[in-house]
Amino acid sequence: MYIECPKNYRCTDGTYVCYPKASSTSACEINDSTTTTSVTTPSSDILSSSVGTTESTTTTAAPRDPTVMCQEVQATGFYQNELDSTCATYVYCRLVNNAYTATVRDCPSNQWYDATKKYCSTTKPDTCS
């Protein structure tokens, strides 16, 4: 099941919320797989048969849902919303009734969350779309 976000919005969490500041339309669908593939191609030179070419392709893991992330981090603080490539939002993790919970918060207008500085800034990080 998925929903389609409007243009300039992006689905950024498992509760099917579309956030502004995205560069393209995106559907709320999460693929939770990590794949690493290595292919070795032998050299065609018979005299140097031990020499070959190695190609390696790595795809990164799907972003974590904020609630899952907070439960894994097990620490109170501000974190990058891995489901929001636009950096328009961030996650506040805190301990409530002996369980870590997540609250997705919006950065003010014309600001982006900087994971290095751990706050919203008027300078858009290079990693944000």
Q: Length of the chain in residues, anyone?
A: 129
Instruction: From 75, 121, 128, select the one nearest 102 (Cα to Cα).
Output: 75
Phi, psi of 69 (to 5 degrees): -60, -50
**Residue 41 reports pLDDT greater than 80:** no
Q: How confident is the model at residue 25 (pLDDT cuts 50, 70, 90)?
A: very low
Q: What is the pLDDT of residue 47?
A: 43
Write down the pTM of the prediction: 0.56
Higher pLDDT, 72 or 44: 72
pLDDT digits (tens, 9 = 90+) for 58-82: 666 788 899 999 999 999 999 999 9
Contacts of 83 (CB under 8 A, 6+ apart): 11, 12, 13, 14, 63, 64, 65, 66
pLDDT of residue 23: 43
